[in-house]
Amino acid sequence: MTNGRVRIGATVLLICALVGTLAAVVFAAQRYNIVIETEHYNAIKPSTAVKAGDTTASNGKYTEYPLKRPHATSENSGVQGDGGSVYFKVRVPEQGNYTVWVRTWWYDACGNSFFLVVDDKPAQVVGGDGTFKTWKWRKAPQPYALTAGVHSVKIQNREDGARADQFLITNDTRTIPTRAMAETPDYRVTE
């Protein structure tokens, strides 16, 4: 009888320890979805411009790398852009791996990408897909390992005719945005 009670007691202790460990892991890593409107930039460099009046864009505003005439006739024409960019400072609350999504609108196959630069990390090309003239979230190819604190984000012109509405920085791998999201202004650094 004593041996049975010891086993039950040990089993209960083991279950409690496992539940406690699982709870600590679940609650230790908080999920963050940081959403910034592109018109709420810290700095902007031409040819990038803020545009208004598109009722399908969040708050009716977005940033644009204006369409040029003559427009490129092949995907590889002008893949360097003109240096136009929009720059942000964002506060990341917790160290971790973060995915960056950008809500974009492409003009055509020669106006469907831009460069994304976070801090001093190499530029990533966001885009290159074939969904045109509608807002859609596109994910940066690689996640970023970010420390807690302030980070810079730059969306830079690569092809004319590309637009950006919002960007999302998230440590939640289950987050897949499908429509405009509410901005989280507490994470914007406005100095």
Q: How many CB atoms lie within 10 A of CB 143?
A: 15
- By mean pLDDT, which of 22-31, 64-73, 133-142, 148-157 is the weakest? 22-31
Distance, CA of 191 to CA of 147 (rounded, Å)? 20
Render pLDDT for 93-145 as a digit per residue (tens, 0 to 9): 999 999 999 999 999 999 999 999 999 999 999 998 999 999 999 999 999 99
Confidence (pLDDT) at 138: 98
Answer for the pair 181, 57: CB distance below 8 angstroms, yes or no: no
Contacts of 30 (CB under 8 A, 6+ apart): 93, 94
Cis check for the bond before 141: say yes or no (omega within 30 of 0). Answer: no
Tell whether the model's pLDDT for residue 83 goes beyond 70. yes
- By mean pLDDT, which of 11-15, 146-150, 157-161, 162-166 is the weakest? 11-15
Q: Which of 26, 10, 30, 6 is CA-nearest to residue 170?
A: 30
Confidence (pLDDT) at 24: 42
Round the average pLDDT of the chain to a whole number and report it.
Answer: 87
Confidence (pLDDT) at 70: 82
Domain 31-187 listed as CATH 2.30.140.10:
no
Confidence (pLDDT) at 21: 46
Tell whether the model's pLDDT for residue 53 goes beyond 50. yes
**DSSP letter, residue 72:** P
The percent of residues in the chain predicted with pLDDT above 70, rounded, is 81
Contacts of 71 (CB under 8 A, 6+ apart): 107, 108, 110, 111, 160, 161
The percent of residues in the chain predicted with pLDDT above 90, rounded, is 75
Render pLDDT for 15-29 as a digit per residue (tens, 0 to 9): 555 555 444 444 457
Q: For the residues 143-164, what does the mean pLDDT come to? A: 96
Domain boundaries, the chain: 1-30, 31-187
Confidence (pLDDT) at 27: 47
Answer for the pair 140, 97: CB distance below 8 angstroms, yes or no: no
This prediction has a pTM of 0.83
**In the chain, count of helices (H) and strands (E)?**
1, 12
Cis check for the bond before 74: say yes or no (omega within 30 of 0). Answer: no
CA 102 centroid distance within chain: 5
Q: Which of 110, 164, 108, 104 is CA-nearest to residue 132?
A: 108
